[in-house]
Amino acid sequence: MIRVFGWNEFLIIVVAAQWTIALSAIAFAGGSIGGLLMALMRVSEVRAFRRLATGFIRLFQGTPLLMQLFLVYFGMNIFGFAINPWIAAAVALALHASAFLGEIWRGCIEAVPKGQREAATALGLRYYHSMRHVILPQAVRIAVAPTVGFMVQLIKGTSLASIIGFTELTRQGQIINNATFSPFLVFGTVATIYFLLCWPLSLVARRMETRFSRATAR
């Protein structure tokens, strides 16, 4: 029986947004750890580390996120590891984020003027202390805008998790649409929620970038 899209259906979609937020947060947290590791390996003086990180980044940047979700979800089951859609989506998105954040942050680290590294070396700082106290603090300022930009893409990318059965915002919209046959209202609501999630991040990034620019100018 076809239902009418009403207040209850709207609330169900809104509540489903919590799973999109949770999945995005977990993927970004895992991706931040992996991305920092990849970025440091990419700028490492050890050739083996650079090659390993480059291969990892190229693998995940060169394949669609949808395929990565399929491989993690179905691949783990093939090898005898029972994995639910929630864990599979979190792992796949975290690996995906690690590759992209690693390359973004690698570029930000290399964007720091070479004179800063030379000054750190002249002061007798070792690689660890040079990166921690001189290079990374400056790279963070450069990384704010592209990092937030990628986070916006990551939030929208969570919609693909519906393909493996994870019920987040998009999947819940599909379920409600199948019951109400009101695609314009249902997916218009879903799109509006995505916009409300992503737009504030862009504003925050702009304010932080402006603040960092003022601090640098001083």
Convert the pLDDT of each residue in 127-179 to its tens digit.
Answer: 778 888 888 888 888 888 889 889 999 999 999 999 998 989 999 999 999 99
Per-residue pLDDT at 176: 93
Q: Is residue 161 part of a domain?
A: yes
Distance, CA of 12 to CA of 7 (rounded, Å): 9
Q: Is residue 185 part of a domain?
A: yes
Per-residue pLDDT at 130: 85
Q: Is residue 2 part of a domain?
A: no
Q: Is residue 99 part of a domain?
A: yes
pLDDT tens readout for residues 57-92: 999 999 999 999 999 999 887 877 778 999 999 999
- What average pLDDT does the structure give for the chain? 89
Tally of structural domains, the chain: 1
How confident is the model over 46-67, as a mean pLDDT?
94
pTM of the model: 0.88
- The length of the chain, given as a count of residues: 218
| Confidence grade of residue 3 (pLDDT, cut at 50, 70, 90) | confident
Q: Is residue 170 part of a domain?
A: yes
User: Considering just the CA atoms, what is the radius of gyration of the chain in Å?
Assistant: 21
pLDDT at 30 over 90: yes
How confident is the model over 178-200, as a mean pLDDT?
93
Selection from 69, 84, 29, 78 nearest residue 161 by Cα: 69
Domain with 211 in it: what CATH number? Answer: 1.10.3720.10
Q: Is residue 104 part of a domain?
A: yes
Q: Is residue 1 part of a domain?
A: no
Q: Is residue 114 part of a domain?
A: yes
Q: What percent of the chain has pLDDT over 90?
A: 59
Per-residue pLDDT at 218: 58
Per-residue three-class SS string for 183-218: HHHHHHHHHHHHHHHHHHHHHHHHHHHHHHHHHHHC
Which domain range does residue 144 map to? Answer: 7-217
Top-ranked range on mean pLDDT: pick from 112-116, 163-167, 211-215 = 163-167
